[in-house]
């Protein structure tokens, strides 16, 4: 059992606390396995009525997956251990999505990448003033995985495409407004709410809805029309052209978003748009995870991932040399290869 995740039961509550504070509780393979094993055990335990997912000490909630481990795999073992990580992490994501008992995820802090993957499947997703939600993968040559295709494509008004491409960070009020959070509560009430959920696990929705006060206005609401207009297309070139046209008309917001996109991996941006368009038509979350595992298996060992992590996280030079370097260089043939089925016996499968 890893000490990086604390697992215990408290009366009718199964409680999982991420406990890797120096890494902002980023997920390791061992943490995914421990969480999955606990959920499996509680699924068959009639005394457990609900599951609480939060973080232990320090800032939280979860900054993502173990990026350093994945980069090391890409560079040194041909992606073998990295694919194993993705496979089992996605099994946990799917297990949570289909779980028979309510899960309450407290997104009380940074909630990015893998943190999104373990909070979005929860029936109750609680944001606070500390929440900072993002899928920043385009900046490191990865893609918004862990179910991102499913969740982001279903936000409506092209918010998902905007978040996937730009990696924009949302605060707690914005998470509530977009639907990424089901509830917003002040941080100083979180522990009291957990205690009340323990006492009344059959009344979780009411307990989370009771805190007095109105969340702050969602800033993203003010840009909703711009996002819907400029990110309307599933063609990356169309989105860039729309922003350029707005810039010519004097729109400062468009300058900021165009410049942001200029730092991102063209490959990842095109992958994300196809990923979301494909996922929007799916009816089974398992099919989404199968698709995302195919993508992950390919992009893990393509040049952009190791280069993006080097530039943004390792060396912090923020000067990635993307390959292909331009959107036009990311061909439909390349995308087809990234999305193609894997060889027999290598496809992702759910737990079971």
Q: What is the pLDDT of residues 147-161, one digit of tens each?
A: 999 999 999 999 999
Looking at the DSSP bridge assignments, the partners of residue 92 are none
Residue 153, both tokens: 């494509």
Looking at the DSSP bridge assignments, the partners of residue 127 are 107, 184
pLDDT tier at 133, thresholds 50, 70, 90 = very high
| Separation of alpha carbons 320 and 142, rounded Å | 13
Question: Which one, of 113, 111, 103, 98, lies nearest residue 175 by Cα?
Answer: 111
pLDDT tier at 1, thresholds 50, 70, 90 = low
Question: Which one, of 194, 31, 216, lies nearest residue 106 by Cα?
Answer: 194
pLDDT of residue 47 exceeding 90, the answer is yes
The pLDDT > 70 percentage for the chain reads: 99
What mean pLDDT do residues 84-109 have?
98
103: helix, coil or strand?
strand
Question: Which one, of 283, 285, 251, 253, lies nearest residue 117 by Cα?
Answer: 285
Is residue 30 within 8 A of residue 3, CB to CB? The reply is no
| Separation of alpha carbons 39 and 100, rounded Å | 10
Residue 64, both tokens: 């993502």
260: helix, coil or strand?
helix
DSSP class per residue in 115-175: HHHHHTTSSEEEE-TT-EEE--GGGGT--S-TTHHHHHHTSSTTHHHHHHHH---EEHHHH
Interval 268-313: pLDDT, tens: 999 999 999 999 999 999 999 999 999 999 999 999 999 999 999 9
Mean pLDDT for the chain overall: 96
Give the position of tokens 């504070």: 21
Q: Residue 58: its pLDDT value, please?
A: 83
What mean pLDDT do residues 325-340 have?
98
Task: Collect contacts of 192-201 with beta carbons under 8 A, ≥24 apart.
Answer: 193/126, 194/52, 194/54, 194/106, 197/13, 197/50, 197/52, 197/104, 198/10, 198/11, 198/12, 198/13, 201/12, 201/13, 201/49, 201/50, 201/102
pLDDT tier at 256, thresholds 50, 70, 90 = very high
pLDDT of residue 60 exceeding 90, the answer is no
The CATH class given to the 5-339 domain equals: alpha beta
Sign of the four-CA dihedral 148, 83, 141, 338 = negative
The pLDDT > 90 percentage for the chain reads: 96
203: helix, coil or strand?
coil
Looking at the DSSP bridge assignments, the partners of residue 50 are 13
What mean pLDDT do residues 58-78 have?
93
Q: Where are the domains of the chain?
A: 5-339
Is residue 139 within 8 A of residue 308, CB to CB? The reply is yes
Active-site residues, by number, are 65, 114, 137, 145
Looking at the DSSP bridge assignments, the partners of residue 232 are none
Interval 11-36: pLDDT, tens: 999 999 999 999 999 999 999 999 99
Q: What is the CB-side half-sphere exposure of residue 128 using CA atoms within 13 A?
A: 18
Residue 186, both tokens: 């002040």
DSSP class per residue in 277-335: HHHHT-S-HHHHHHHHHHHHHHHTTSHHHHHHHIIIIIS-------SS-SGGGS-HHHH
Is residue 292 within 8 A of residue 147, CB to CB? The reply is yes
Q: Residue 214: its pLDDT value, please?
A: 84
Give the position of tokens 């943190």: 115
Q: What is the C-alpha R_g of the chain?
A: 20
* pTM recorded for the entire structure: 0.97
What mean pLDDT do residues 251-265 have?
97
Is residue 37 within 8 A of residue 43, CB to CB? The reply is no
């Amino acid at each position: 059992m890893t000490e990086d995740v604390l697992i215990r039961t408290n009366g009718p509550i199964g409680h999982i606390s991420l406990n890797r504070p120096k890494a902002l509780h980023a997920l390791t393979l061992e943490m995914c396995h421990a969480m999955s094993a606990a959920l499996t055990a509680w699924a068959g335990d009639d005394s457990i009525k609900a599951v609480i997912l939060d973080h232990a000490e320090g800032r939280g909630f979860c900054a993502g997956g173990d990026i350093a481990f994945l980069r090391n795999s890409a560079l040194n073992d041909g992606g073998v251990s990295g694919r194993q990580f993705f496979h089992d992490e996605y099994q946990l994501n799917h297990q949570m999505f289909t779980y028979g008992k309510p899960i309450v995820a407290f997104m009380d802090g940074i909630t990015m990448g893998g943190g999104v993957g373990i909070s979005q499947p929860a029936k109750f997703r609680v944001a606070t003033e500390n929440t900072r939600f993002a899928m920043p993968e385009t900046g490191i040559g990865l893609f918004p995985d862990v179910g991102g295709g499913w969740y982001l494509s279903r936000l409506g008004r092209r918010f998902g495409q905007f978040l996937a491409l730009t990696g924009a960070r949302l605060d707690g009020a914005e998470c509530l407004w977009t639907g990424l959070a089901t509830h917003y509560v002040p941080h100083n009430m979180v522990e009291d709410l957990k205690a009340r959920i323990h006492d009344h696990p059959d009344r979780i929705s009411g307990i989370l809805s009771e805190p007095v006060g109105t969340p702050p206005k969602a800033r993203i609401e003010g840009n909703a029309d711009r996002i819907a207009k400029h990110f309307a297309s599933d063609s990356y070139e169309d989105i860039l052209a729309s922003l350029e046209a707005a810039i010519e008309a004097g729109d400062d917001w468009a300058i900021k978003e165009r410049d942001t996109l200029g730092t991102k991996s063209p490959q990842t941006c095109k992958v994300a748009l196809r990923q979301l368009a494909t996922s929007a038509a799916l009816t089974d979350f398992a099919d989404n995870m199968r698709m995302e595992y195919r993508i992950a298996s390919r992009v893990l060992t393509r040049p952009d991932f190791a280069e993006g992590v080097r530039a943004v996280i390792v060396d912090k030079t923020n000067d990635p040399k993307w390959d292909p370097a331009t959107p036009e260089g990311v061909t439909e043939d390349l995308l087809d290869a990234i999305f193609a089925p894997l060889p027999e016996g290598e496809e992702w499968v759910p737990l079971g």
